[in-house]
Chains A and B, each alone.
Chain A
């Protein structure tokens, strides 16, 4: 391929170390102050809400898979654990603030993540990936089988509680957006700091060469389990956002295997081991079906029904994955860097 002839083909993670805090800050300011100026309810509910929840889940998975190198196919299960735990804390513990139930839900997801992360101490690569499927199926079965989790609701579908934080209720599309945004910003800042600390470097060491990491004194087993714990915490909270702020109902079927794959696809398209990649990838995955639906209806009219849409979306997503793996293995994040570098080279001031 032509990539071999491009000078300085540096990996995305290395480029990310250039001090870049002003840009994320600008994005955050824009998300709080700029987007509400023009956003419609449709933009909030159909695009931004799932985008924020999936981005956060992808940030969580990226810590485990991108940074610590442990592939997981069970992300949706941890999202489900988070959503159901938050629901039950909120329902069963009188007077517990919403934020506390979300934190506890994250901790529960974290604990479940550690349990299903235990095989990573003996298994690697494919064997581990397949074993994380156990989490996917077991959690889904548990949540559908035992109706205690859904408060004996016959349909298994339950209404999410109001987003009440210290007496202030985040209502309406705009309110829910601000709530999600704040949670996502807080956890993303945490994740972005984390990967720069010794712990983050331990993750990378374990990913790149386990034996070398062990020799240089990285506690490998402890590091792997910590990666599972932190990642599952973030994914669990993402599940809460998905259920409480996006769907506003909690139901186990939304957290199926396809969702797990979707999150994995997001971090691959966005770029492994980058924080912003999770957001790029999620944006693409959320917007793609909407664009496809519009384009399909425009081009083929009524022939382009929801079945055809579903299928062509599947094909497109699958093809995108393959194309990215072949042509841009470091994902949209690396693509963005390259474009930025080109622009800098062209501009006369530099």
Chain B
């Protein structure tokens, strides 16, 4: 074997960490919903697709950027409220797995709806960031990846501030802690759930734009949900910190494995590596890295 190429290793590692942040961004949307309503929202990927497709289609029709952003956000808010009304409210107190399958159905509706509405062709999305590699000590780092990381960081910061210092954040945490106690002190669960779904829609929009700029806005965008699931399993479904750390771990290990182990398997191991990695860790720590030490029953 040739000598170990250290700068190359760092480059792969950094690339992996940065793409891991993109995974985290999707995973955070899941965590928001899971924390407050105990639903593993499989439709998060479909929401992301819907948001990105709506955004790009409006933009292509000549609507200015910020207006498009606002309109898409409003649409996502309406969808969030609709989901709460039509899907979650009738299914309240059903077993978690029922809710999960309901979000699977929801994902189908959203994916079909988005493409029926806006068509199935691939849209390019340019956020106006020149993707010139940044050179630090002989290591190439993509500017776009750095930008994405910065956006992800600000979202996390924003969410942390909202959760920690605002009234609605306090209500979120109360509901996450104990739904019955929250109800008993007069918090309105439907309102809070709608708010959380709107927040998840916002995260989906941001993640959708970043992923869309990277991959093109198309159906496969909704498949990033599959990249986020191992991150969630690893980090714990209810921890934003876990989503971040899990995303970084998965992103880095996936890229390193693809580069250094992939050749032994004939490549393409990215499709399953994250799952096997997450499972291996879970067998040691069943509640994930940061999840509550309480394993979900049935």
Contacts and interface: CB of A to CB of B under 8 A. Distances in A.
Interface string A302-331: 000001101111110111111001100100
Contacts of B233: 127, 130-131
A71 B97 contact: yes
Contact of A317 (B108, B269, B283): B108
Interface string B229-243: 110110001000000
Contacts of B275: 130-131, 133-134, 137-138
Nearest to B223: A257
B279 A325 contact: no
B44 to A, nearest CB: 13
B48 interface: no
B266 A210 contact: no
Interface in B181-222: none
A133 B98 CA distance: 18
Interface string A293-304: 000000000000
A152 interface: no
Contact of A321 (B94, B108, B268, B272): B108
A119 interface: yes
A325 B298 contact: no
A129 B97 contact: yes
Consensus secondary structure, chain B interface: helix
Contacts of A326: 87, 90-91, 102
Interface in A51-94: 69, 71
A30 interface: no
A314 B286 contact: no
Interface size class of B (residues with CB under 8 A): 35 or more
Contacts of A325: 91, 94, 98, 101-102, 105
Contacts of A124: 295-298
**Which residue, of B98, B100, B120, B279, has the highest number of chain A Cβ atoms within 10 A?**
B279
Nearest to B229: A130
Given A126-B96, A131-B279, A311-B116, A322 B109 contact: yes
Interface of B: 40, 86-87, 90-91, 94, 96-98, 100-102, 104-113, 115-116, 120, 226, 229-230, 232-233, 237, 265-269, 271-272, 275-276, 278-279, 282-283, 286, 295-298
Interface of A: 1, 69, 71, 119, 122-127, 129-131, 133-134, 137-138, 140-141, 145-146, 207, 210, 257, 261, 264-265, 268, 307-308, 310-315, 317-322, 325-326, 329
Closest 6 CB pairs of A and B: A318-B108, A321-B105, A314-B112, A134-B275, A315-B112, A125-B296
